Structure 1
Amino acid sequence: MADLSYTAFFGDDEHTFKLTPALIRELEAKCGSGIGMIANRLFARNFAQADINETLRLALIGGGTTPKRAHELIAAYVDGRPLVETYELAAKILERTLFGNPNEASNGKA
């Protein structure tokens, strides 16, 4: 099975980010669009702030961070900061969710 998690420094430490199917549904509900549209908006730099904030918050939860701590991290390191500081991270999370890990060896199955 493909590893869809992404690990990066965020805020105060290295964190793992992962959007599970249940969290993708939550992201879609929070942002009012399907995952493909959310990703397209980010990739085209035509996004809403919620696209970034909710992608990061929910992916932190999927990566093992408690919901309370994920909220605290967003409040401390995203809210009120320039969007460019977290845009790239949100785009990488969505890229990994949609396309998998480019460094993972293919097993020859489609």
Structure 2
Amino acid sequence: MKPLTTYFGDGEYPFALRSAQIIELEGKCGAGIGTIAARTFAKHFSQIEITETIRLAAIGGGMPPKRAAEMIAAYVADQPLIASWPLASKILEHAWFGAPHQ
């Protein structure tokens, strides 16, 4: 699947939840991808679901893990959760439905 490229923090970055990232996300969140997506879409998410969705999708898009953690620390941690929700929601939507016309 082609990554979702969108603005995050200081520029445009590719994001992709591939199989390895989905498995890690499920483990970290203690829930399956369907549950994580449903809760996020309904705004019934936990903080770890938002932060890990973004961090792991950045890694899946090609960002080195250390840089992804730095981006989370700079642009997600200690920010209002609603500020990061649109990006996490877009990432999960892309993983669930794919890109339009893909």
Task: Measure how far apart 1:36 and its partner are.
Answer: 0.1
| Larger Rg computed on CA atoms | 1
Q: Quote the Cα distance in structure 1 between the aligned partners of 2:42 and 2:10.
A: 28
Identify the residue that residue 58 of structure 2 maps to in structure 1: 60
TM-score relative to the length of structure 1: 0.90
- Unaligned stretches of 5+ in structure 1? 105-110
Q: Quote the Cα distance in structure 1 between the aligned partners of 2:89 and 2:42.
A: 10
- Unaligned stretches of 5+ in structure 2? none
Q: Kindly, what percent of the aligned residue pairs are identical?
A: 55
**Size of the alignment, in residue pairs?**
102
Point out 4+ residue stretches in structure 1 off by more than 3 angstroms.
none
Aligned mate of 2:25, from 3, 24, 27: 27
Q: Judging by fraction of residues, say which structure has more helix.
A: 2
Q: Secondary structure at the match of 2:95?
A: helix
What's the Cα RMSD here?
Answer: 0.8
TM-score relative to the length of structure 2: 0.97
Equivalent position amino acid for 2:88 in 1: A
